[in-house]
Amino acid sequence: MFAMTMTLTHLGTGSRGNATLLETEASKVLIDQGFSGAQLEKRLARMNIHPTEIDFIFISHHHGDHGGGALVAQKKWGLKVQANHRTAEELGLLPELTHYFDSLDIIRVSRDLAVLAVPIPHTGADNVAFIASHNGERAAIITDLGSWTDELVTHVRGCQHIAIEANYDHKRLMNGPYPYSLKDRISGRGGHLSNDQTGEFLAQVCTDATKSISLTHLSEKNNRPHLAESTVLLHIDEIFSGDITISLQDGPEKSHYIGQFEEKPSSKKQSLV
């Protein structure tokens, strides 16, 4: 690990499970836990981490690919979960291991990590995006939204790292095999972001402070990594000069280091980069 940084590593993103690890000097948290207990343990083991080292799991909403593994983490390892009231109720979380937040609450995890919950539109769920703050630097983790609000733009603008879904290519979705009702739900306000929509959003929030972007939650049927990256870059090429990466289903993947740091030799994650 690097000194004076917040490290963000996607353990996997997509319709078969999502979890992102945030590490600081004082804490380790997961954003979402959509994997089985065995899968989570396996993915963390690749980073030399045991689930019992996790301080909190933050759940964005109750859909299975984001929150379906939260209860097993509570039962198997006694992990504490942060969720809003509807999400906790839908997932049947254990009250004694659940901490509840409301929209726009700032949750202080440790001396060097705070997390802000920002509501975002997603049909059938009280979904939130998370903005993690560490020593004045911020990272945004945003997924499962078909549109955005001015409030979200305000909180994400100028984040050093932005992880956001680029779920589908519009032409591939519309010409694909899904029934019309499903196509309509995916492309609606409460569905998911297309590559073009993700680019439009990023064009509003990227500033000189934005150093890296992760495109997440790509549809395996309705998108391709090269389409997502090239389409997004069409929108932000003139305003963004940092690194852009694609996060897929099988992780963990390249770690992103948010903040000032001095490199130390033999980092345990270098093999994943």
Tell me the per-residue pLDDT of 3-57, one tens digit each, with 9 for 90 and over.
Answer: 579 999 999 999 999 999 999 999 999 999 999 999 999 999 999 999 999 999 9
Residue 183 belongs to a domain: yes
Residue 261 belongs to a domain: no
Burial 139-177 (b: 16+ CB within 10 A, else e): bbbbbbbbebeeebeebbbebbbbbbbbbbbbebbeeee
Residue 202 belongs to a domain: yes
Residue 266 belongs to a domain: no
Q: How many domains does the chain have?
A: 1
Tell me the per-residue pLDDT of 250-266, one tens digit each, with 9 for 90 and over.
Answer: 989 889 999 854 444 44
More confident residue, 189 or 92: 92
In the prediction, which pLDDT does 269 show?
38
Q: Does the structure show a pLDDT above 80 at 268?
A: no
Tell me 270's DSSP state.
Answer: G
In the prediction, which pLDDT does 259 show?
83
CATH number of domain containing 171: 3.60.15.10
Residue 265 belongs to a domain: no
For 125, the domain range is: 6-250
Calpha distance 190→127 (Å, rounded):
10
Residue 258 belongs to a domain: no
pTM for the full model?
A: 0.92
Residue 224 belongs to a domain: yes
Mean pLDDT, the chain, rounded, equals: 93
Mean pLDDT over residues 103-132, rounded?
A: 96
Number of Cβ within a 10 Å radius of residue 122 = 22
Residue 210 belongs to a domain: yes
